Structure 1
Amino acid sequence: MFTPSSNRDPLEGRFDHLDRSGQTIATLSRKPVWLVFAMVLVTAAIAWWLLLSMAGAVAGFEGSARPLGPGMALIARFLPIDSSSFATRIADLCLSADSGALLSGGGAFGVYLALVVMWTAMAAAMMLPTAAPMIRTYAEIADTAAARGDAVVHPLVLAAGYLFVWSLAAIVFAFVQMLVASFAGTGTTRPVEGVVAGVILLGAGVYQFTPLKQACLSKCRNPFTTLFARWRSSTTGVFRLGMEQGLWCLGCCWAMMLIMLAVGSMNVVWMAALTLFTFVEKTGTGRVTSRLGGAIVGLWGVALIWSAVN
């Protein structure tokens, strides 16, 4: 059975047995508090820039930041706006969907594809930084395995499997968003309000206290157990390992991601806040963070429901 070298501090290893790019990724991910490293930095930065550009386009089209949700007025003036950019075209498609258009089916497919792009970018921007400790752990095991002469697969394959799961989830999130927008009678970029928003927030808050949430969070916090016990030396096997970690992450974070429907799907202020919360939750210990976040979100949902029915 493979065991890590006992005379080596895993936090100080130089990963001498990985190739140059593998060493770069492993070294940059040395400290989990770094939100991004190598590939994570590039991918997440592109995703955030796309989301910021989309938010800027929406604010420009609407003439204000109000449709983007709470908090966006503070940064609206700093959002990039390029009328000919890909992000602007995607934002324009999303804005074309009011409740009537979604039900008529005229431009629904184009809107849906635009929402898939948006949710995929959102997943990359919000979830990749929280995956840094997992990829770091894989790099540690891979480096030690390579030192023993075992075949290892590049960490990028693991990250690709992780992102693949979230890309599939983006397809579902986009469909849910269209359904919610149709039911609530709002545009897809605008935050839902009243009872619908309250139910989303209450559901996300309650999920934080469930055994399934805690089981998935435990796997996210302790990737070594899964990676070591299910170690693979083939590209397909490592891709599946990444998918498995992505599924645990999805099980942990899907409800919190849906909060974006209540605060505005292009609300980058809340995206950043939820990214920070998720990172702290995954790298912490105990249940205080999860329960505190669940209580706040749940009570917020109850308040919205109460206000709407009274």
Structure 2
Amino acid sequence: MLIGEVARHSGVSARMLRHYDALGLVRPTGRTTGGYREYSAEDVRRIFHVESLRSLGLSLKQIGRALQDPAFTPSALVSDLIRWTEDRLERERELLERLRAIDASAPAGWQDVLRVVELMQGLNSASPARRQQTVLSGQDAGAVPAELLAGAVLTEPDPVVAGALRWALARSGGDAVGTLAAGVHAEDVAVRRRAVQAIAAMPGTPGAAAALADALGDPDATVRGHAALALGRRGVHAAVPALVRMVVEGRNDVDAAEVLGTLSQGRDQDPERAERILTALTDELARPTADSATRIRLTQALLELPGTTARDTLRHLAHDDDPAVALVASAFSGVLDERAPHETRGGPGA
């Protein structure tokens, strides 16, 4: 077949076929009387071999070596190709994220584009001080794309810079919950922790409560704790089991007890809600596996609850077999009696 016919059948341009010939990759075995290239069936098969290897990302030089050296083994080269492709995909992913951040900022001109690029470069700096300065100066210069801040907060290891990012994100007013919610489901527990902390700092944002509710089932106690505190402060009763568990385990137990107290009172003053929280605490107190320190924390949590039932429970615990628990309960019972003398003593005429 002549070069034009080969080009039509193979899809490889005549110009590329001539290039293959010049490189020695695919040289036609014959020539016509007029000097035109003439390809045999074996030549055409070799062209398809070259194109197949090109589709894997091999260079023409690598293809020539692969086809000419019988001892050449593909395993090492394929491994290199995998690594190079992964690196390229990562670079392209980063580029795509930068482009999306610029697009989300709705730039009015190239100065706006350059400002966002400068922000991204600052946020990617190896210096925590520069990253923090970038966050603060970006807020002063104008609106920073919320998605850009959300992506940065998920990867920020420095607690001071992370705090600045959460502050800026809460002030941005942008829709970043989608990006943060994806972080709640990340494999890396550090990313999940940062995501929940950032969402917790954005009260009232649409989608925040749902993302935090998902985090209540996280295997990591810190993630669950951040989510439970944030939801409890929003009045979400589903956080109660996680909050009680925090008191039992001694993780931010003071904060958890305060939130339980707020939940038990609530805006609607629902007595059944307070009773359910009290029951959850007393059930833990009654567990035979609860040690003295755990029972003291649970007793302290009762101080945050309203109503006479909590005070009655503390009076009962004042006679507990554990002297430490009894001492704490007795002291707290006296505090509650001083807070509400009419309730605790039956009021006038009692």
For the aligned pair, the TM-score class normalised by the smaller chain equals: under 0.3
RCO (CA 8 Å, sep 6+): is it higher in 1 or 2? Answer: 1
Q: Which has the larger radius of gyration?
A: 2
- TM-score (normalised: structure 2): 0.21
